[in-house]
A = this chain, B = another copy of it.
């Protein structure tokens, strides 16, 4: 920066001003500085800038897994808005594990992010403590709670599952099953679905739980197990993810089961492929783009010191009724 200044015949501070707010220097000086930057190939050092200004323009975003499209699409929407505002993203994976999350939070905080996005509302006491003393805006996404660390953007998983159960009941299905991946929020949906459906029908709901993430293969296997071990037939299967639902559809087709007459399916997430399966998949839609942009807006409001009207934003959900149920 000093070199650039020398070449432009001004001091180093003037270059700094030209870069941070061009209106602070005269037009002629600005021109000479820009020329000098071009000639020298100068690249600003954001590390030094952050240290001096105590603002890093970095946002830390922690998700369970980047390979799961429900989280990566959130990241995509969130980062788009943040980048437009001059913020860069540091991404961390927590693997659905609060202890792992705590470790990732610690390393990320050492980079002095200006804010942090966290997935879910359950965090270890250590995590909460670190975040509180870091005193930066924090947004928790994908779920809502009355007691967020700072603010949260999401929807009620219980409400979504109850709505699905009511819907299934309304369509007249007398039997139900739930297929669930190893994810705390999915488990809460399963529990709420089971409770509600059993209340409405008085019939027990069969459940299949997987340890890991949802997959097409898992869905196929789940249906096979449901039929073989639970004697399941003629009911509706509530899945924790569209991946499972798609697998169930494939397995049903392979077995010659008519969907939805002999077997109905409800997915979760309304992924891109959902309208294009055969038959088109009924699924619970959560607007992930809106989730990402609402999370960004919440943080931006914090930066602008705009008092949040409410710390919790419920973006809701919607049952996309298609032809599998």
With an 8 A cutoff between CB atoms, is A67 at the interface? yes
Within 8 A of B (CB), among A16-61: 41, 43-48, 50-51, 56, 58
Residues of B within 8 A of A90 (CB): 88-91
Total identical chains: 2
A66 interface contact, C-beta 8 A: yes
As a 0/1 sequence over residues 78 to 101 of chain A, the CB contacts with chain B under 8 angstroms (1 = contact) are 010000000011111100000000
Among residues of B, the one whose C-beta sits closest to the C-beta of A271 is: B216
* Selected contact of A50 from candidates B47, B108, B247, CB within 8 Å: B47
Instruction: With CB as the reference atom, state the residue of chain B lying closest to A91.
Output: B91
Is A207 in contact with chain B by the CB < 8 A criterion? no
Interface status of A73 (Cβ within 8 A of chain B): yes
B76/A65 in contact, CB under 8 A: yes
A106 to chain B, nearest CB (A): 7
Q: How far is the CA of A109 from the CA of B27 in the complex (A)?
A: 27
Q: Is A110 an interface residue (CB 8 A)?
A: yes
In the complex, A185 has a CB within 8 A of chain B:
no
Q: Is A112 a contact of B217 with CB atoms below 8 Å?
A: no
CB distance from A44 to the nearest CB of B (A): 5
A107 to B57, CA, bound (A): 11
A250 interface contact, C-beta 8 A: yes
Give the B-binding residues of A (Cβ under 8 A): 41, 43-48, 50-51, 56, 58, 65-67, 69, 72-73, 75-76, 79, 88-93, 106-112, 129-130, 133-134, 215-217, 220, 243, 246-247, 250-251, 253-254, 272-273, 275-278
